[in-house]
Amino acid sequence: MKDTLRLGVDLGGTKTEAVVLRVTGDEPEILAKHRVPTERDRGYDHVVQTVASAIDAVTAAAGLAEPPPIGVGMPGAITRAGLIKNSNTTCLNGRPFRADLTARVGRPIAFDNDANCFALAEAVFGAGRGAEVVFGVIMGTGVGGGVVVRGRAWSGLQGIAGEWGHIPLEPRDGEPCYCGRRGCVETMLSGPSIERAHERRTGERRALRELAPDDPTLEAAVEIFGRALAIVIDVLDPSIVVLGGGVSNVAAFTERGPAAVARWVFNDELQTPIVKHAIGDSAGVLGAAMLTRV
């Protein structure tokens, strides 16, 4: 079976990870891995340098003279003018990161946001393997999502495909969102927002993982999850939904989430499988590597 080498970089807020991958059919094998702190507080030039050095280091660690095709996944999107927007590594926002990194590395680089990379990794190697359309959900400190169609990440015309975290569910009375609106899904389903809702209801500050499975705060969050994800399914009707991120590890979402979605979806039944991710922390970097598929 034909095998190919690829290089993936996951540029995160705190750490940057690079791998060289050998892919045989649908099986990934990590040949080398390099992980360094992103140190985004040291500014834009430092982050460009960190990513470029990680590419060099992992190439050398894999025993290669030249890097194989490179894909980079990171939070945020790239505007039509080639500038980064909506990244939580804020020193990148408004800067031509892709062009600067490409110039520094001296070869073409495929880019996409981290949610699309997660969805792509799960679609190619994980829980969505073989599915035609995969919607990958990230629920953690924020809420995001990515769309993969027939093994390719679908970013959309404006790079916002899959951004269900900013569907305004409660635009009048909801909590303010960093995007400038109120009551976005992210302000109701991110880990910190569920913990805040619990504190408002009970006066007690508790970590999400400490909540009992039948805690009313969690029940309410699962119901919101159902309303929000039903909107996505009404529009996209994906073959499968794969859940990732720390909040998705709370069993209530996989156990009672599908029934909550079924109550709101525009169909008399919900056929869509809603499953937990199959790949752990390395989904971002595996997906980034697979952006280089042509």
Q: Which of 138, 184, 228, 233 binds Zn ion (CB under 5 A)?
A: 184
CB 233 within 8 A of CB 261: yes
Cβ atoms < 10 Å from Cβ of 213? 11
Q: Which of 166, 198, 256, 277 binds Zn ion (CB under 5 A)?
A: 166
Q: Which of 177, 194, 211, 247 binds Zn ion (CB under 5 A)?
A: 177
Q: In the bound complex, what is the minimum distance in angstroms from residue 163's beta carbon to Zn ion?
A: 9
Q: Taking contact as CB under 5 A, which single stretch among the options 31-39, 63-71, 182-190, 271-279 is the one that binds Zn ion?
A: 182-190
Measured from the CB atom, the residue of 86 and 155 that comes closer to Zn ion is: 86
Measured from the CB atom, the residue of 121 and 143 that comes closer to Zn ion is: 143
Q: Taking contact as CB under 5 A, which single stretch among the options 32-40, 121-129, 166-174, 284-292 is the one that binds Zn ion?
A: 166-174
Q: In the bound complex, what is the minimum distance in angstroms from residue 122's beta carbon to Zn ion?
A: 24
Q: Is 169 in the site for Zn ion (CB under 5 A)?
A: no
Q: In the bound complex, what is the minimum distance in angstroms from residue 89's beta carbon to Zn ion?
A: 18
Q: In the bound complex, what is the minimum distance in angstroms from residue 247's beta carbon to Zn ion?
A: 16
CB 189 within 8 A of CB 143: yes
CB 57 within 8 A of CB 17: no
Q: Is 190 in the site for Zn ion (CB under 5 A)?
A: no
Query: Among all chains, which residue has been given the structure tokens 């894909």?
Result: 71
Measured from the CB atom, the residue of 56 and 175 that comes closer to Zn ion is: 175
Residues 20-59, one symbol each (x = binds Zn ion by CB under 5 A, - = not), give ----------------------------------------
By rule CB under 5 A, what count of residues binds Zn ion?
4
Measured from the CB atom, the residue of 59 and 187 that comes closer to Zn ion is: 187
Q: In the bound complex, what is the minimum distance in angstroms from residue 125's beta carbon to Zn ion?
A: 31
Q: Is 179 in the site for Zn ion (CB under 5 A)?
A: yes
Measured from the CB atom, the residue of 96 and 174 that comes closer to Zn ion is: 174
The site for Zn ion (CB under 5 A) is made up of 166, 177, 179, 184
